[in-house]
Structure 1
Amino acid sequence: MQRATKVSVKGDFSGARLSALGFEHRFYSKGDTFWVETQGEEGVAKSYQVLYTFGTEPLQQYLVATEKGRLQALPLAWDTERSLWFHLQEDLKPKTGEWIHWTGGGMNWNSMCADCHSTGLKKNYVPADDRYETSWQALDVGCEACHGPGAAHVKQAQAGTTINRALLDMIRGETSQKTVEKCGRCHARREQLTPAFEHGGHSMLNHYLPDPLSQGLYHSDGQIDQEVFVYGSFTQSRMYQLGVTCTHCHDPHSAKVKREGNALCLGCHAAQYATPAHHHHSPDGASRENTAYDRGTGDQCVDCHMPGKVYMTNDFRRDHSLRVPRPDLSAKFGTPNACNNCHGDRSPEWAAEQVRLWFGDTRAPHYSDTLTRAAVDPLGTRQALITLLQDPAQPHIARAATVQYLAQLMPTDPAVRQALLHGLDDSNALIRATIARAMYDLPLEQKLPDLLQLLDDPVTAVRIAAARSLVELKPNSPAWHTLNRDTHNLLAKAAEEYQTQLTVNSDFAASHIQQGTDALKSGREEDAARHFVRALEIDDHQNAARMSLAQLRYRQGDITAAESLYRKVISQEPDAAAPHYALGLLLAELGQLTAAETELEAAARLGANPRAWYNLAVLRHQQGRADAEKAYLQALELSPGNPEFTQGLASFYVQNKQWRKARTLIKQSLSVNPNHPLLLRLRQFLAQAPQT
């Protein structure tokens, strides 16, 4: 980041124009200043002075000031490789007023960029005024960004005394975990927990919580998908497990690799890996017949073990999980693989067969096998997930990733709940924090004793996660009076840290959604509504907030408001099942049966939702319609043996005197739930019915 000058600006500001998204953008200069005419907040042309440049290659962005202390990154960037202007968001087609529009929060420097691109940054967001008072010690990334305060070090150097290395942060000789964490402060997808990072031995998780391979950010097997940077992928790698750090491959000050091509990998690995005997590609990188090489030529280590993806239109970044290509998983689960990244004209099945011919029938065990299967079938992968979670030899971030699946089973599966509770004692803080957060919706009595032990955890992220999941524990709650004074004090301190995190992030919609949800747990309905409304003011497409607000208004009896909110969600996300389902139930309650049927059927088909099929069946059943049977059967296909669904369909058969169908149905359901009392009563009733 630099101030915009004739030296720092690389783009063409000589009157150049760019037509994009139905608007002609103009780039020009006035004396020593640089200007852009583009679509402003009101949707009409407006000129903005470029105050700062952002980045150098392969693209350079530009920052302009708007209002209330905001610096915004223009979506118009200069391609330094092709020397042309381009629009960063042509595929998104953002509209004015949306969070992703360049004037919104998604392109706000203060909250989205500054913490990693300046030194000694304090965001200083003022929620009451929706204003920023951002400050920094150095505009760009300087020595102190990584090494911490340097005044004492400089004083020693000037005095010619022996340098005390302990005065500096991030020095040679640290463990690989510490070094990677310090790089990961910025090279990670993470949540900020505190107003500013403090040097001097603090771990990353004292100030940030890295994302544990969440679906939507990463592919189900842990490969990069969205812009997640490097920490989450590198900490999955065997390299990291064996003590390799970022600085083994990259110069920490230039970020450039220390050697070019395969020479970088062969600094540690045997030369045989850079031969056709291993990679099975032409040694000169020549394209073979019937191939369509896109990224790489197959004879470079990174082609197979570090495939990448283009971000920001022209910025190619490599996945650092350094994994073996698994086209067999691509064929089964649709995950990407390095082979088909280059051989785009071939199928994953073809690539999997090539791998089999070269390396044999079996693949080495890998956590990605479990994670990809869990994304499709968490229940069927239950034991494999527990085994992965409890295996300290596996990457900690992959172990933490299991929690997103196990948490779905936790309320009804005692073995899963026990495995997660055991994980609260894990030596890795990310695992402790991830599990503690996952316990948020458990009844207080099921989580209280285990979360209390985390309130004095040495890592801030863990304490905050525990306080977050104990948010309903208040001085007026019965459980409070069972605790001693020391525990009260620990809880108060952790709760204060949690509130600090929410305040630090109060310029994000997600913070207000969380605060609204917390308020509902405490029975403060209007506080909850206020936060949900604020979340929508920040980002009108945050439909999690809109759904929560709709459900709150429904419970309060404001049916009109609830219906309007559900319809707004559907207008923005027509393929989302949840709002169709909620609206369908509401319309059925209002007696608007035709409209209710339309919404319930949409919910059932879009979400493969057994409950939606059941409600649709009941609605049709109540009208005496024969097609109720089909809806009941669809519900049971998705939830075999479900007693409630079985009772509904059995009732339909009995009313229509289809006794044989009813008995067959009960028999099938009992094969799934052999001891369920409702099913046993139904069988007894049908034993007395006609045998035809």
Structure 2
Amino acid sequence: MINYFMSNKNRYSIPFWLHFVLLALLFAACNGIEKKEYVNIEEGFQNATFVGSASCIECHRAEYDSWQNSHHDQAMKIADSTTIIANFNNTTFTNKGVKSSFFRRDGDYYVNTQGEDGTYKDYKIIYTFGYTPLQQYIVQFPNGEYNCLLTAWDTLEGKWFHLQPDLDIKHDEWINWTGGSQRWNTMCADCHSTNLQKNYDETKGVFNTTFSEINVACEACHGPSSSHVSYYKEQEENEAGGILPPELYMGTAVAPKELVDKCARCHSRRGNLTPYFDYTGNFTDHYFPRMLEEPLYEPDGQIRDEVYVYGSFLQSKMYGLGVSCKDCHDVHSLKLKKEGNDLCLTCHVPDTYNSPEHHYHKMNTEAALCINCHMDGKLYMVNDYRRDHSFRIPRPDQSAQYNTPNACNKCHSDKSAEWASDFIIDKYGPERADHFSDHLLKGYFEDPEEFKKVFSNKNYPEIARATAVGLYVNTPISSEEMLDLTRYLNDSSIFVRNQTVRAFEEIGQPQLSSYITPLLKDSVRAVRISAAHYYNVVDKSQVEQLEEFKNANREYVTELEVNSDLPAGLHQLGVYYQSIGDVKKAQEYYLKAVEEDNYFNMSRMNLALIYYQQGLVEESEAIYQKIIEQEPDYSYTYYMLGLLYYETNRTDKALEYLEIACNKEPPNESAFYNYALMLQQLNKNNEALTVLRKALITFPGNERMLYVKLLSEINLNELNEALNTCRTLLQINPNNTNYIQIFQRLQQGTL
């Protein structure tokens, strides 16, 4: 599925369906033949085709039988009496006033519910989706779309329920079941079927999605196997001729970290870079995972939104020590290899860890299970409990200080985090093992310099290091710090290199462009794409004639086109065409994004600015007002509208909207600055100071705000306060001649 969703609509909680346990690995070696050497994988796949799981049964009966009825086998099925679990015997379910009726007609299964136009219609169920703890049902639409109902069947309790019970969803919203967020082709098909080709025609808005097998079958994990099957059909002749067998995509010799990356294709929150996965290259040649950032993760890296295991597992010591998916999960049935603590005790010493002296709970109880302390979890899709695979030690001391979750208080909900922290100190001592989360949290809430301690420490997980790079540049950094950051463009970690490129894009300093140029030829597609994106946003004049830029830019545009069935993808296409000066095409994509999702206001914000720049002031104002109608608490819209009124000489309305912007979320530095500056220009210096004092609580050390504050204090003859403010400015920028002159004159009393 595509996990690349971006929106300003804060109430979105996008349901993604891929929640099955880890991908299968390798079938046993055919006929017990010892294979000392194989045909190169990528060469072998160039001519191989998909032949279906039935071709595997003859040699791999045990593996096939184990796979049958697994989550992979049940990932998707044709809807019929053998696959549908729910009660379609004239049952009904109502959520937020919308009634869904489930029934059978002529041997087929139907739902009568509210459609995209607000009227009730009968829809035929085409496919089932998953089977436990919930099963969803898929309906076909005329343009090749298949959409999942938001009403699902609870297979544990045997009842209908709604996947978004807390939201009031309008029939024409993107997050409704008829909208893009529930579109199988876009959001989930890639990981629920074998050899999935999305085949979206963006110009016509039509899908021609195909697959080789409807579910996650043998070749979904092992790749197209025609060469493999053909070899063993003529095994004796091939061996006699010295022909070596072609290797499958997931072989027995796959190294642990490589295996995890192969499973990550479907078990991660990530974005698509290519039209389809062709079993060549590595994970980051086709996808790029989301980092440990809010709102997907807690500030310490624990799971918050649906992130599908990979990003969590990369944080763990187990991953660092070479543990992989197959060490805990059977590769075909996907079941755990052992139950309870027995699985953990495969590696961990029983007497040390499986005892009250370690966990301080009564033996043979739920509280004494390792996973309940070290793999806390959350419910997703209402009833699907998934565990955090970062395998972390509970840290209620962090909870007490930073309000992060911890496993202790999950059970002891009647106690405080301080109580749990004191208990741990009493039983385990006051010292906690070094963990990257300590520095991430301090970086978030105290000192951004702590982020540097994370990304500079190669002993920390690479996903944590890369996350820290991105967070580090969210606050201003000096030119020396920027220069120091350039060395991470050469980091051995793909994630760190990639996030460093993105960080320099965020900084937006074209004088650093020469450091990015080598990454246009990086060995990994994701990094090349980020480098091309950097130049499109910051400055491509230096590289646009370089062949490596042209190649990387083609990959970048392909990525944009691959995601053009998402409003975020349409928006990014608009940004791209705007960056190359094709404003007309940019407008077309922004309008398409809004048509796809009426609440996709990032595109409306860009459209409003374009219209204003074209002299269409009324059209621009109307768009800003529409955004305010939909998102009345979003600060940036009021800010932009305030600037529009200021630049069209409507001073009173400019002041009104800038003041509102300063009292909305998220805190908007530019709104405070411009509002205070306007007040100062109108000789309302006391009001300006009130605004600035409030702003500097949220944005301490902000140089331009402090400068406006200094001028207002001088205007009001508050010279002692002005002297202190100027002293602060000199600490921030000691070489600024203007500050030096003002400071000297304040000391001399000549102002």
- Report the TM-score when normalising by structure 2: 0.84
Stretch moving more, 165-174 or 660-669? 660-669
Does 2:478 correspond to 1:413?
yes
Residues 75 and 45 (structure 1), Cα distance of their counterparts in 2 relative to 1, 3 Å cut: same
Task: Tell me which of 535, 540, 543 is aligned to 1:470.
Answer: 535
Deviation at 1:447, TM superposition (A): 3.9
Which aligned pairs between 1:533-682 and structure 2 lie closer than 5 A?
A: 533-606=591-664, 607-625=666-684, 626-640=686-700, 642=702, 644-667=704-727, 669-670=729-730, 673-682=733-742
Q: Which residue number in structure 1 is paired with residue 502 of structure 2?
A: 437
Alignment partner, residue 87 of structure 2: 12
Does 429-438 or 367-376 show the bigger shift? 429-438
Alpha-carbon separation, structure 2, partners of 1:493 and 1:642: 41
- Residue 263 of structure 2: aligned partner: 183
Q: Give the AA of the match of 2:688.
A: A
Q: After the TM superposition, which residues 15-54 of structure 1 pair with which residues of structure 2 at under 5 Å, given as runs?
A: 15-54=90-129
Match of 2:452 among 356, 368, 386: 386
Cα distance in 2 for residues equivalent to 1:447 and 1:652: 36
Task: Give the whole-Å Cα distance in 2 for the aligned partners of 1:597 and 1:73.
Answer: 47
2:338 is aligned to 259
Pick one of 272, 285, 295 that aligns with 1:216: 295
Query: Which segment drifts farther, 308-317 or 418-427?
Result: 418-427
RMSD: 2.4
Counterpart of 1:346 in structure 2: which amino acid?
K
- How far the C-alpha of 1:56 sits from its partner, in A, is 0.7
- Give me the whole-angstrom Cα distance separating, in 1, the residues matched to 2:381 and 2:312: 19
Q: Are residues 1:528 and 2:586 paired?
A: yes
CA-to-aligned-CA distance 1:582-617 (integer Å, 9 cap, x gap): 222223344444443333233223344444333333
Distance 1:635-1:77 versus aligned 2 partners, 3 A rule: closer
Render the CA deviation track for 1:626-683: whole Å, top value 9, x for unaligned. Answer: 4333123324444556554445344444444444544454455445555532233323
CA 1:443–1:323 in 2, change beyond 3 Å: closer, same or farther?
closer
Equivalences, count: 668
- TM-superposed CA distance for 1:554, in Å, is 2.6
Question: What letter corresponds to residue 323 of structure 2 in structure 1?
Answer: V
Partner of 1:402: 468
- SS of 1:180's partner is helix
For the pair 1:336 / 2:405, whether they are aligned, the reply is yes
Q: Residue 109 and residue 629 in structure 1: after superposition, are their counterparts in 2 closer, same or farther (change >3 A)?
A: same
**What one-letter code is carried by the residue in structure 1 that aligns with 2:435?**
H
Could you tell me whether the CA contact under 8 Å between 1:386 and 1:419 is conserved in 2? no
In structure 2, what is the Cα distance between the partners aligned to 1:568 and 1:510? 19
Q: CA 1:83/1:640 → structure 2, altered by over 3 Å: closer, same or farther?
A: closer
CA displacement 1:421-463 (0-9 Å, x = unmatched) = 2122222222222222333355574343222212222222122
Q: Give the conservation status (yes or no) of the 8 Å contact 2:264–2:310.
A: yes
Q: Which runs of 5+ in 1 are unaligned?
A: 286-296
Alignment of 1:290-329 (within 5 A): 297-329=366-398
Letter aligned with residue 402 of structure 1? A
Contact 1:535 1:542 in 2 (8 A): yes
Between the two structures, name the one with larger relative contact order (CA 8 Å, sep ≥ 6).
2
* Partner SS state of residue 137, structure 2: strand
Query: Shift of residue 344 of structure 1?
Result: 1.8
Moved more, 310-319 or 620-629: 620-629
Further displaced range: 115-124 or 595-604: 595-604
Of the three residues 501, 507, 518, the one matched with 1:453 is: 518
| CA distance in structure 1 between the aligned counterparts of 2:607 and 2:81, rounded to whole angstroms | 50
* Per-residue CA distance 1:480-535 (angstroms, 9 max, x = gap): 48x6xxxx222222221111111111111222222222223222222222222222
Larger deviation, residues 589-598 vs 105-114: 589-598
Q: 3-state DSSP class of the match of 2:542?
A: helix
Matched position secondary structure for 2:441: helix
Greater Cα offset, 587-596 or 58-67 = 587-596
Q: Which amino acid aligns with 1:479?
A: Q
| Distance of 2:667 and 2:681 partners within structure 1 | 23
Asked if structure 1 preserves the Cα contact closer than 8 Å seen for 2:452 and 2:469, the reply is no
Residue 284 of structure 1 and its aligned partner are, at CA, apart by: 3.5
Residues 395 and 644 of structure 1, relative CA distance in 2, 3 Å threshold: closer
Alpha carbons 2:228, 2:246 under 8 Å: kept:
no
Comparing 457-466 with 681-690, greater Cα deviation is found at: 681-690
Q: Measure, in 2, the Cα distance between the counterparts of 1:453 and 1:480.
A: 11
What's 1:58 paired with? 133
Q: Which residue of 2 aligns with 1:3?
A: 78
TM-superposed CA distance for 1:466, in Å, is: 1.7
Change in CA separation of 1:190 and 1:641 when aligned onto 2, cut-off 3 Å? closer
Moved more, 304-313 or 249-258: 249-258
Residue number in structure 2 paired with 1:349: 418
TM-score, scaled to structure 1: 0.91
Deviation at 1:101, TM superposition (A): 0.8
Closer/same/farther in 2, CA of residues 549 and 168 from structure 1, 3 Å limit: same
Q: For residues 391 and 164 of structure 1, do their structure 2 counterparts lie closer, same or farther at Cα, with a shift above 3 Å needed?
A: farther
Return the alpha-carbon distance in structure 1 between the equivalents of residues 506 and 618 of structure 2: 29
Cα separation, 2, equivalents of 1:260 and 1:339: 22
| Structure 2: distance between partners of 1:598 and 1:452 | 46
Q: CA deviation at 1:471?
A: 2.5
How far apart, CA to CA, are the structure 2 residues paired with 1:499 and 1:643?
A: 38
Give the distance between the partners of 1:171 and 1:102, measured in 2 at CA: 39
Q: Does 1:99 align with 2:174?
A: yes
Aligned twin of 2:11: none
Separation in structure 1 between the aligned mates of residue 735 and residue 491 of structure 2, nearest angstrom: 38
Deviates more, 1:545-554 or 1:494-503: 545-554
State the distance in 1 between where 2:505 and 2:725 align.
38
Any idea what SS the aligned residue of 1:462 has? helix
Offset, 1:3:
0.5
Moved more, 615-624 or 334-343: 615-624
Aligned to 1:228: 307
Query: Separation in 2 of the partners of 1:309 and 1:550?
Result: 40
C-alpha displacement of 1:581: 1.7
Q: 1:73-115: CA deviations, max 9, x gaps?
A: 0111111100001111122222122211111110000011110
1:479 aligned partner: 542
Which SS does the other structure have where 1:454 is aligned?
helix
Which of 658-667 and 124-133 deviates more? 658-667
Q: What SS does the corresponding residue of 2:520 show, helix, strand or coil?
A: coil
CA contact (8 A) 1:232 1:397 kept: yes
Residue of structure 1 aligned with 2:248, choices 168, 180, 185: 168
> For residues 327 and 672 of structure 1, do their structure 2 counterparts lie closer, same or farther at Cα, with a shift above 3 Å needed?
same
How far has the Cα of 1:217 moved from its partner? Answer: 1.0
1:48 maps to amino acid: Y
CA 457–584 in structure 1, closer or farther in 2 if over 3 Å, else same: same
Distance 1:644 1:183, change over 3 A: closer
After superposition, give the CA deviation of every residue in 1:113-147 in whole Å (9 maximum; x if it has no partner).
Answer: 11000000000000010010101111111100000
Answer yes or no: is the 8 Å Cα contact 2:636–2:668 preserved in 1. Answer: no
- Name the amino acid aligned to 1:381: P
Residue 623 of structure 1 and its aligned partner are, at CA, apart by 4.3
Letter in 2 for 1:620: L
Quick check: 452-461 or 322-331, which moved more? 452-461
Contact 1:640–1:672, Cα closer than 8 Å, also in 2: no
Distance 1:636 1:9, change over 3 A: closer
Aligned to 1:290: none
Is residue 195 of structure 1 aligned with residue 275 of structure 2?
Answer: yes
- Aligned residues with identical type, % of pairs: 39
Structure 2: gaps (5+ residues):
1-75
